[in-house]
Amino acid sequence: MQLYLPIAELSLNLFMLVGLGGAVGFLSGLFGVGGGFLLTPMLIFSGIPAPVAVASVTGQVVAASTSGALSYWRRGGIDLKLALFLIVSGVCGAFLGVWTFGQLRSAGQLDLVISLGYLIFLGSIGTLMLIEAVRSIIKHRQQGDSRPTKLPGKHNWVHGLPFRVRFKRSNLYVSIFPVILIGGGIGFLGSLLGIGGGFILVPALIYLLRVPGSIVIGTSLLQVLAIMAATTILHAVNSQTVDIVLAFTLMTGSVIGAQFGVSAGQYLRGDQLRALLALIVLAVAVRFALSLLLTPSDPFSVAVLSSVGGG
């Protein structure tokens, strides 16, 4: 059954789109990520223009994150004060990201920047996460017990920065500077690349701020929800690239998939989840590398960059 997408100006199989949304929603609930880092590339590889894929996926990320965040909220797994700092700084970053998005689109360089951005960020972060997760799994097997591996050192240099704030739910007393920097960076990347940013936010909260594992995923989902909601509105107003039909179809599957992901996450250890997420991230990075290196089947494209009125 073919579904016409008015903004993307093409037709795709309805069940394929719902299935993509469900699969990414499952990953969202399982790992505490928005899933945009996976869904945006898949839509681009399916033939949807990059600007439309980036802007429309933000709406799907909102739906997937809402479903997962509500599940963690009911379990008391969200630090609202920490999430508030991340959200405020993230919205500021989103404004800057949407402005950059428009400038790159006008210059005709948006597709290249999106591909390079995914390759660099996913490749580096996926590699670091995989190395850490493999080390953790090996250490766990050598120790021969089921206790979770403790993060090295309760405090690091981040905890020595000034203007510290206490986050009681996470049992933290840290400077607001790294919190604002992390939130702002996630908002900028999310609006520019169409990613929820959870795959960056979760490791940052764990390894830099030492947020407990029981709190980090729910807090991440709430931040992703707020930032992507703001980004969707900004894209709809500024670039008019949000395809409502595409976003709604993806939402339908993602809301259902997220609930199954949250349940499945209870049966895997943290190091196993990180290793699996790292492999998925690296697979997407490799696909982007191939798209940049291989000669495209159609080396020419035509796009309307601007309209000029004539007399």
DSSP assignment letter at 149: P
Write out the two tokens for 78: 């969200």
End-to-end CA distance of the chain: 45
Q: Give me the pLDDT at residue 4, please.
A: 79
- Domain layout of the chain by residue ranges: 14-293
Mean pLDDT calculated for residue range 2-15: 82
Q: Please report which confidence band the pLDDT of residue 304 belongs to, taking 50, 70 and 90 as the band edges.
A: very low
Q: Name the pLDDT band for 88 (thresholds 50, 70, 90).
A: very high
To the nearest whole number, what is the mean pLDDT of the chain? Answer: 77
- Is residue 66 over pLDDT 70? yes
Phi, psi for residue 4 in degrees, rounded to 5:
-85, 130
pLDDT band at residue 284 using 50, 70 and 90 as cut-offs: confident
| Window from 82-96, 134-148, 152-166, 200-214 with minimum mean pLDDT | 152-166
pLDDT at 213 over 80: no
Percent of the chain residues topping a pLDDT of 90: 2
Q: Is residue 116 over pLDDT 70?
A: yes
Q: Cβ–Cβ contacts within 10 Å for residue 165, how many?
A: 13
**3: helix, strand or coil:** strand
Higher pLDDT, 93 or 142: 93
Q: CA–CA separation, 287 vs 271, rounded Å?
A: 25
* Host H or E run for residue 57: helix 50-74
Over residues 94-103, the mean pLDDT reads 87
Please report the beta strands in the chain, taking only residues with DSSP state E, as ranges in sequence order: 2-5, 10-13, 164-167, 172-175
Higher pLDDT pick, 86 / 275 = 86
